Structure formats: C-alpha cells, structure tokens
Amino acid sequence: MPLMLMQRDATVCIVTAQRAIFAQFTYSADISSWPPANSELILPQMVRTGGGVIEVGINASLDGLLVGVVDC
C-alpha cells in the first residue's frame, strides 16, 4: 500500500510500534492504515476529526471477541 500511495504522489510515513510516537503521526494524518497488531492499539483521541482509518486485519481478544487494531 505505501508504494501504491507514493506512486500517486502521496507523502507516506511508516511508523514502528512505539506507542509514544503514534499519536503525533496518527493525529496529523489524512489517512492511517493499520495491519494486524495488538488489538485496540489506536484510540479515538489518536485520530483527528475528518481523518480516515484503513484497518487491514482483526485479532481475537482475551475473551474471544474479534477486534481490530483501531478502537474508534
């Protein structure tokens, strides 16, 4: 996905799983895309109003429910 977006002249930032820096990138992004990772990693306050989120996968929570990375 990053390569396809860059071919369309998008600015792409790839961020590692260090939650301390997530908020500064997710809040300023027009679109965020998240692959499977820890469930409910991205919280509502980490996405600005009008920002879009593309979730790519799901996980099973400890109580057996299917949840995504984004909890918005």
pLDDT band at 7 (very low <50, low <70, confident <90, very high): very high
- Report d(CA 29, CA 13) in Å as an integer: 9
Q: What pLDDT shows up at residue 37?
A: 62
User: 12-56 pLDDT, tens per residue?
Assistant: 887 766 656 777 777 888 887 776 666 566 778 888 888 887 777
User: Domain limits at 17?
Assistant: 2-68
Overall number of domains in the chain: 1
pLDDT band at 11 (very low <50, low <70, confident <90, very high): confident
Residue 66 tokens read as 């299917």
**pTM, entire model:** 0.58
> Secondary structure of 13-51 in the HEC alphabet?
CCCCCCHHHHHHHHHHCCEEEECCCCCCCECHHHCCCCC
